[in-house]
Amino acid sequence: MATSTSPKVLRVAVVGVGLVGSEFIRQLLAFPSPSPFRLVALTSSTATVFNPDGLALADGDLKQQLVGSPVRLKPDLPFLLRELAALVRPGQDAVLVDNTASEEVARHYPLFLRAGVHVVTPNKKAFSVELGLYERILAASLESGARFLNEATVGAGLPVISTLKDLVATGDKVRKIEGVFSGTMSYIFNEYSTGKAEGPSFSSVVATAREKGYTEPHPADDLNGADVARKLTILSRCLPALRGALPEGYKSVSTHSLVPPELAGVTSGDEFITRLPEFDARFEEMRAEAAREGKVLRFAGVVDVEQGVIKADLEKYSVTHPFATALGGSDNIIMFYTERYGARPLVVQGAGAGAAVTAMGVMSDLLKLV
């Protein structure tokens, strides 16, 4: 007697409905019919709504759903864990999509994975803090078979992590990864350092970047290099030779902060911007020195496997280098030097920030589970 196979269904619970979360839900709802996805839960900073059969959610109806749903709770991760775990069965997977930047949510990943719930996220926290959490995530995934996918943690929608994992899985030997990983830093130095000794002041470029929404509300959160250090941590942990190299995660990365020491204690973004012009001369001196050498300044990240060096620093590159010629706006560019890609590295480049491309990276990961 012939048997029919039901199509796979993925129950999706979304935590975080801000810019990226809202855009991700829009892309999810726009997926062509018949869709394998059933949106069963939404969690904001104030509420959780849940329906195991799927939320009746119209595009643009997020706020109304979160405020008006009769099945409404306070944000409750243990509740989500219990309910999603109960939904996991053959032919029916459950997926936690974490669109937050919350470390608290990230520390729950091992629990979800151990219960058989997949995790898809652009949240860098789980993969860039202490090694112990990362190892618990790996162990839980191996134990249950549930997968964690985090492409969007490094290059938003760019295929950075998947490219690196493919290189490793196919037996290539990665020698070095070098890139401009921060869209904010990319914009700032594309504008500030063009190979000429003169140009706009550093403080004015940072202020413009902030006005355009390229920086965090407090620009020191970008200028301190921590975001790049987190991304380097995530990539290094994809390399067997370096998996245990950063016991304290991004805090173990050699990172050069561009925040003037005198402003390190300034807690207000507005005050920081007001005082930054006091230090323009320091940056002008570095720009002039680079120009005399025929070079530009770029804030780059390096994972040197052969030397065991992982660093985020302000570097000088020739005006003919791709970091000087190929970048525009807030682009990212990542170069993989490997045994197969030696003198001419494999290059991934494009927009590395923004809600639309970040949500695309999350959606792309979700599709890998179908």
Positions at the binding site: 16-21, 100, 124, 216
Predicted confidence band of residue 353 (pLDDT cuts 50, 70, 90): confident
Residues 54 and 168 in one domain: no
- CATH code at position 316: 3.30.360.10
Contact call for residues 366 and 95 (beta carbons, < 8 A): yes
Domain of 340, in residue numbers = 160-352
Residues 178 and 209 in one domain: yes
State the sign of the Cα–Cα–Cα–Cα dihedral 335, 299, 183, 308.
positive
Specify the number of domains making up the chain: 2
Tokens standing for 341? 């890609």
What DSSP string runs through 169-206?
A: HTT--EEEEEEE--HHHHHHHHHH-SSSS--S-HHHHH
Has residue 3 been placed in a domain? Answer: no
Residues 127 and 223 in one domain: no
What local confidence, expressed as pLDDT, does residue 114 receive?
98
Has residue 79 been placed in a domain? Answer: yes
Query: Which residue reads 């039901």 in tokens?
Result: 6
Q: What is the pLDDT of residues 238-281, one digit of tens each?
A: 999 998 899 999 999 999 999 999 999 999 999 999 999 999 99
Tokens standing for 157? 């929608």
Please report, for residues 96, 166, 255, 284, 343, the alpha-carbon distance to residue 172 in angstroms, rounded to integers and kept in the order given.
Answer: 32, 9, 28, 42, 15
- CATH code at position 64: 3.40.50.720
Beta bridge partners of 313: 300
**For residue 100, pLDDT beyond 80:** yes
What is the DSSP pairing of strand 254-255 with strand 295-304?
unpaired
Positions at the binding site for NADPH: 100, 124
**For residue 123, pLDDT beyond 70:** yes
Has residue 55 been placed in a domain? Answer: yes
Has residue 2 been placed in a domain? Answer: no
Positions at the binding site for L-homoserine: 216
Residues 123 and 83 in one domain: yes
Q: What is the pLDDT of residues 6-30, one digit of tens each?
A: 568 899 999 999 889 999 999 999 9
Positions at the binding site for NADP(+): 16-21
Contact call for residues 237 and 134 (beta carbons, < 8 A): yes
Catalytic residue among 125, 231, 311, 316: 231
Residues 81 and 201 in one domain: no
Residues 241 and 306 in one domain: yes
Residues 31 and 66 in one domain: yes
Residues 255 and 332 in one domain: yes
Has residue 1 been placed in a domain? Answer: no
If you average pLDDT over every residue of the chain, what do you get?
Answer: 92
Has residue 4 been placed in a domain? Answer: no
In the annotation, is 251 catalytic? no
Has residue 5 been placed in a domain? Answer: no
What local confidence, expressed as pLDDT, does residue 4 receive?
45
Q: Which residues contact residue 272 at a Cβ distance below 8 angstroms, ignoring those fewer than 6 apart?
A: 218, 219, 220, 263, 266
SS3 166: helix
Residues 46 and 170 in one domain: no
Helix segments in 69-130, DSSP class H: 77-87, 103-106, 109-114, 125-128
For the beta carbon of residue 201, count every other beta carbon within 10 angstroms: 16
Residues 56 and 136 in one domain: yes
Residues 82 and 15 in one domain: yes
Has residue 254 been placed in a domain? Answer: yes
Residues 96 and 195 in one domain: no
Share of the chain above pLDDT 90, in %: 80
